[in-house]
Structures are given as C-alpha cells and as structure tokens.
Structure 1
Amino acid sequence: MLEVRGLTAGYGASTALFDVSLALGEGEVATLLGRNGMGKTTTIRAILGLTPPRGGEIRFRGESLAGLPPEAIARRGIGLVPEGRQVFPTLSVRENLVATAANRAGHAQPWTLERVYGLFPRLGERAGQSARTLSGGEQQMLAIGRALMTNPHLLILDEATEGLAPVIRAEIWATLAALKARGQSILVVDKNLAALGRLADRHHVLEKGRTVWSGSGAAMIAEAERIRGWIGL
C-alpha cells in the first residue's frame, strides 16, 4: 500500500528528514512514533506532497508519488486527519462532511453521511451545528468522518488522540479498531503505546529525522522500554 525509502525533506535551508523509511500493507495499521520535533509531521507532509521530498522514494499502491502536487496525491486515495483537527469552523457538521466528499477509491459501498453518523452518532445529533461549537472530541470525530467521506485507500491520522479526554480517547481507539476490521489501511501518529500495541501491525520510531527502529506489534511489546526512551515516555 505505502512504501517510503530513504526519504529526505526540509524547509528552506533546513533539513528535517535525513533517512526515513516505513512500510504499510493493504488493510494494515502502521505507526509513526517519536518525540515532538523528530520529523513525524514532516514525513506525513512529504507523503502528501505538502513538503516536497528532496530525496528518497515514496510509492503508493505501486506507483511513485515523485513530483505530484498534493491534490493529485489526494485523488489517488489518501485521506488526512490533521494535527489540531482543522475542521471548517463556520460550516455545519453536515457541510464539513460533504465539502470534500468523493468516492476516490471506487468502493462498492462508499462512506456516506448515514454511515458516518452510524460510526459517530453524536455527529448525526449535531448535524446542523456549527463545527466551532463542538467539543474537542467531537471535532476529532468530525475530522475523521470528513476524511472517511473521501473514501480513501489510506487514512492518515496525525496525533490521533492528543489533548482529548480519556473517555474520548477510548472511543477514538475503538473507532480505529472498527475501521481496521473493515479493511481500512491506516497510518497513525500517537504516543499511547498500549493502545497502539493492540491496534497496529507495524511500528516505526523516528529520532532526529531518521527511522531508528521498525518492527511488529509483538516486537514493540518486547522492546517497550527501549522505545519509551526514544519517544520520551
């Protein structure tokens, strides 16, 4: 589904990524782990074409993404739940969901308003409300629902549960598990090793713009103390 090899990228004269590699298979969940400032968001931006790579290779569903603009990459079936949620505050919940809706993956049973409301009943209850009136947890649900409405092959979540109350975090993890059970491929950034260990198939740890460790869920559990040192827990 997604393969990144030797990725380098940066901003202006500054280099943020020196050697990032990761992989994610069809229907798998993979993680990007690391302390703040280690290159996780820059890696996501490079995959999406928002920060053009300076070297290395990014392949999605067997095709190189080199030189493609962000809109072309999105049309290939990558949906983003950005850090900070970034919902459209003046639009209603329903308007947020339909604003970018498209069956980009050509699913036989695409995501619709009704399916998103079934996944997050609170969004259905607040369909006519302005997004800025929602709680942080509800806005995260809306951001996930908005990304799903593009019917992506790959769903990327940057800081999936940051700043959310424990009960909402549990709901988000349960939602991601349900999406995985439906065959959704997911790349997720978060710091909750316990939740990620139960959910993800592959893990990748970034340190100063480099992939310093990759492994399975079982390997992450076995090396949890070492990984906690890298991610600062």
Structure 2
Amino acid sequence: MSALLEVTGLQASYGSSQVLFGLDFSIQAGEVVTLLGRNGMGKSTTLRCLSGWMKPKAGQIRFCGEVVNGWPADRIARLGLAIVPEGRQVFPNLSVREHLQAFAANRCGAPQPWGVERVFDLFPRLRERAGNMGNQLSGGEQQMLAIGRALVTNPRLLILDEASEGLAPLIREEIWRCLKVLRESGQTILVVDKYVKRLIRLADRHHILERGQMVWAGDSAALDADHALWLRYLGV
C-alpha cells in the first residue's frame, strides 16, 4: 500500500545555510505520527516544505500520489493538507463562526464531513464564543479555533505545530482530548510537540530530528522503553 505522505532525501536551506540533510519518512492513511526534537533542529523547516511555504533544495515530497515539490501552498492545501500553525494565526476581524464558514470544504470527500456545528460539538467553548472576533478570544480559545478551522477543510492530512504550547493545563488537556477523538475517528495526523509522555499514548510512530537529520524512528513502545533517547535528543 502506498503511503499518504512519502518524503525521500529532503534537503532544505536558508540561503547558504543548509538546515535539512536528506530526511526520509512516510505516513500511512489513518496513522498518527510525530516529529520530535529540540528547538532549532529542523522540525518547522520540514513543515514549511511539506505545506509549500518553502521550496526544498533537493529530495521529493509525494502527497496523495502527487509529487508536490515546488507547488504553491494553496494548491497543496486543496489536495488535502491542513496545518494548525504555531502561534495560531487567527484573523482578528473575523468571528469564530466566520472563520469556520470561510474555510469550509470537503477535500477528502468525507461522507460525514466536519462543519461548523460538528466543530462546536468538539469544542463547546467555541459555540459559546461563536460571535466573538478572533482578537477577543483567549489563547486557548484561539488554539481551538485554529484546530477547528483546519478540520472544516476535511483534510487528508492534519498537521499540528506545537498545538499545546503556552496553554494553561486545563486547556492543554482539552487539546489532548480533541486529538484522541480525531485519532479514533481515523484522521491522519502529523504532530510536532514536546510532551513526549502524552505523544506516546497518542501516536503510532515517532521520528527524532537532530541538526536536520533523522537520528531515530520507531513506535511508541520502543520510544517508551528507551528514556535515554529522551535525555539525549529531547532534553526530557
């Protein structure tokens, strides 16, 4: 079976400074997979390449059977990739409901697609704030909205970049609950986050980056059994 996403030999640079050095990894439909590593090790650059915001220096990115190297971000998004960006990036002058209505699409042809009301069922707090503008929301509410905005596109692949970063503990738990629901629904997810203990319970497979190279890959059982990896590469 061909992978939903297959990355081979991915290299990327900022000017003369090379950041990624030949990454190889893949994601099958229905999997939850992580990219782990300390800050500055290449995770965000990898996501920029996958989503079309940065053109790779070399290598190949194949998504939904298409080689998408060099495609603009909007074309990759229409193929079924949605990203919840670090920093949320909600629009200050759109209401919660307008955010969800503006991005609604059924890119994967889901028989029961995500829409506004289904997102409100997942995040009841957003229903309570439906008329509030983006700049009137708390950080946690903005994060819920960023996830909901991605979900209403009904993506084939959902990418979350530090989705629990900077949130209060109760809100962080709400985000983890949401991700568990999405995993159980069969949503394919790529997660970048630092909470290894939670990711072990959530994800199928993990990849660790160190200075732009893939230094370890394995399943949750293997990662849980080797805490020396956590200390060496993740600072946990």
Check 1:5–1:227 CA distance in 2 against 1; reply closer, same or farther (3 A cut).
farther
Determine the structure 1 residue equivalent to 2:29.
26
Deviation at 1:213, TM superposition (A): 0.5
Q: Does 1:71 align with 2:93?
A: no
What SS class does the counterpart of residue 179 from structure 1 fall into?
A: helix
Q: 1:226 — aligned with what?
A: 229
Counterpart position of 1:62: 65
Distance 1:46 1:203 in 2: 19
| Residue 145 (structure 1) aligns with | 148
Q: TM-score by structure 2 length?
A: 0.96
CA offsets per residue over residues 1-58 of structure 1, 9 Å max, x none?
Answer: 1111111012222211112222211111000000111010100000111110111111
Selected match of 1:198 from 201, 204, 224: 201
Q: 2:116 aligns with which of 91, 113, 118?
A: 113
What fraction of aligned residue pairs are identical, expressed as a percent?
A: 60
Query: Is residue 21 of structure 2 the alignment partner of residue 6 of structure 1?
Result: no
Residue correspondence of structure 1 range 47-196 to structure 2 within 5 A = 47-196=50-199
Matched, 1:39 2:33: no
Q: Post-superposition, which runs of at least 4 consecutive aligned residues in structure 1 deviate over 4 A?
A: none
- 1:225 is displaced (CA, Å) by 2.4
Number of residues of Structure 1 aligned to a counterpart in Structure 2: 233
Contact map agreement 1:10 1:51 (CA 8 A) in 2: no
Mean Cα deviation higher: 59-68 or 103-112: 59-68
Show CA shifts across 1:147-203 (max 9, x none).
001110000000020001111111111110100100100000000011000000010
Q: Report SS of the residue matched to 1:66.
A: coil
Alpha-carbon distance in 1 for matches of 2:234, 2:54: 23
Letter aligned with residue 187 of structure 1: L
In structure 2, distance between residues paired with 1:138 and 1:224: 33
Q: Counterpart of 1:36 in structure 2: which amino acid?
A: N
Distance 1:81 1:47 in 2: 13
| Gap regions ≥5 residues in structure 2 | none
CA contact (8 A) 1:80 1:155 kept: yes
Please tell me the residue identity of whatever aligns with 1:211: M
Note the residue ranges of structure 1 that are not aligned, 5 or more in a row: none
Deviation at 1:82, TM superposition (A): 0.0
Determine helix, strand or coil for the equivalent of 1:127. coil
- Greater shift after overlay, 83-92 or 94-103? 94-103
2:180 counterpart letter in structure 1: A
Aligned CA-pair RMSD: 1.0
Q: State the alpha-carbon separation in 1 of the partners of residues 110 and 213 from structure 2.
A: 35
Q: Quote the Cα distance in structure 2 between the aligned partners of 1:21 and 1:224.
A: 24
CA contact (8 A) 1:24 1:202 kept: no
1:34/1:207 contact within 8 Å kept: yes
SS of the residue 2:87 aligns to: coil
Check conservation: 2:223, 2:229, Cα contact below 8 A: no
Task: Specify the code of the residue in structure 2 equivalent to 1:111.
Answer: W
Aligned with 1:220: secondary structure? helix
Which amino acid is the alignment partner of residue 16 of structure 1?
Answer: V
Indicate if the aligned counterparts of 1:205 and 1:227 stay in contact, CA closer than 8 A: no
- Measure the CA separation in 2 of the matches of 1:23 and 1:111: 25
